[in-house]
C-alpha cells in the first residue's frame, strides 16, 4: 500500500482570473434583467402616483398645468416622455419655461416659471421681459402696458430702444407710452399726451437733443395743440397741429411748421 502525505491532499489551485469574463457577463445579464423588471413594473402602472406642481403664479392656473399634462400621465412612470411634458407646458401662453423630473418611486415633479409681461406687442400680443412674444387671451392683456411694435426678429431692439428713450424722457413733457419700428426702419413714438414723435431711421436717441432743446423751447406753451412733431430733418423739425394756431415767424435753426 502506498502511503499519502498531507502534501498530497492539497486541492489544486484555481485561477479566478479565468472566470472574470464570465462573472462580468453574469452581472451584466442580471443588471439588464433588473432594469427590465423595473421598467415593466413602472410602465404597467396606469398613471403617475403623484403630481407635484411648484411655482409662483399670478396668471398661470394650476388646473391648466394639470390639463396640459394629463395625456402624458397615463403612460407610466418611466415611459412618460419628459420632453413631451415640457413641450405641452411651453404651449401655455404664460409659461416662460419649465422643469419636469421623476422622483422615485412614482412622483412627477413639475416646476414652472411664469412670464413677466413688459409691453403690448403689435396687435393682440405681449412682449415679456426677455423680449419673447406670446399671445394670451384678449382679456388677459393689461391695457396700461406700453405699446411696442415691429417686425419679427426686432423685438429686443425695439424693447431696448424704448427703455432708453423712456428713461430719458420720463421727466419731460414727452413721457412715452408707445414706440414702433416699421419695415423700412422708421421709428415712431407716442407720448402720454397723444403727441406723435416721428423719429426717422437710424438711432432715435440722436433726436432727443433737438426734442428737449429747440422743440421744447419753441412749443412749451403750445404742446396741448400739437398733434405730431417731425424730427426727421437734419437741422430742424416740423409741427402738425390739432387745431391750426396763428402763424408765427420761425426762429432759430431751420424749424418747419406744417
pLDDT band at 71 (very low <50, low <70, confident <90, very high): confident
| Per-residue pLDDT at 247 exceeds 70 | no
Strands 196-200, 187-191: pairing is: antiparallel
Q: What is the Cα 152 distance to its own chain's centre? A: 15
Interval 81-96: pLDDT, tens: 889 889 999 999 999 9
pLDDT of residue 22: 52
Does pTM top 0.85 for this prediction?
no
Mean pLDDT computed over 111-116: 97
The lowest-confidence range among 32-41, 45-54, 60-69 is: 32-41
pLDDT of residue 251: 45
The lowest-confidence range among 111-115, 180-184, 244-248 is: 244-248
Torsion of CA 88, 135, 54, 110, to 10 degrees: 10
Domains in the chain, CATH or no CATH each: 50-114 (3.10.20.310), 117-257 (3.40.50.11690)
pLDDT of residue 70: 85
Amino acid at each position: 500500500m502506498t502511503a499519502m502525505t498531507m502534501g498530497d491532499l492539497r486541492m489544486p489551485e484555481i485561477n479566478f482570473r479565468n472566470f472574470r469574463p464570465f462573472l462580468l457577463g453574469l452581472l451584466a445579464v442580471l443588471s439588464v434583467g433588473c432594469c427590465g423588471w423595473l421598467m415593466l413594473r413602472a410602465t404597467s402602472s396606469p398613471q403617475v402616483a403623484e403630481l407635484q406642481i411648484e411655482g409662483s403664479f399670478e396668471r398661470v392656473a394650476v388646473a391648466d398645468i394639470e390639463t396640459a399634462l394629463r395625456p402624458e400621465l397615463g403612460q407610466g412612470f418611466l415611459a412618460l416622455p419628459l420632453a413631451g411634458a415640457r413641450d405641452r407646458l411651453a404651449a401655455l401662453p404664460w409659461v416662460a419655461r419649465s422643469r419636469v423630473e421623476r422622483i422615485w418611486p412614482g412622483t412627477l415633479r413639475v416646476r414652472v416659471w411664469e412670464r413677466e409681461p413688459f409691453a403690448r406687442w403689435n396687435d393682440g400680443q405681449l412682449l415679456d421681459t426677455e423680449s419673447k412674444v406670446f399671445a394670451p387671451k384678449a382679456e388677459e392683456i393689461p391695457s396700461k402696458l406700453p405699446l411696442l411694435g415691429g417686425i419679427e426678429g426686432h423685438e429686443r431692439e425695439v424693447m431696448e430702444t424704448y427703455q432708453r428713450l423712456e428713461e430719458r424722457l420720463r421727466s419731460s413733457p414727452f413721457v412715452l407710452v408707445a414706440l414702433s419700428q416699421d419695415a423700412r426702419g422708421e421709428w415712431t413714438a407716442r407720448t402720454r399726451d397723444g403727441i406723435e414723435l416721428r423719429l426717422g431711421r437710424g438711432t432715435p436717441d440722436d433726436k432727443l437733443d433737438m426734442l428737449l432743446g429747440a422743440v421744447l423751447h419753441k412749443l412749451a406753451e403750445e404742446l396741448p395743440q400739437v398733434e405730431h412733431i417731425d424730427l426727421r430733418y437734419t437741422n430742424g423739425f416740423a409741427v402738425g397741429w390739432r387745431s391750426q394756431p396763428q402763424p408765427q415767424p420761425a426762429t432759430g435753426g431751420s424749424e418747419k411748421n406744417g
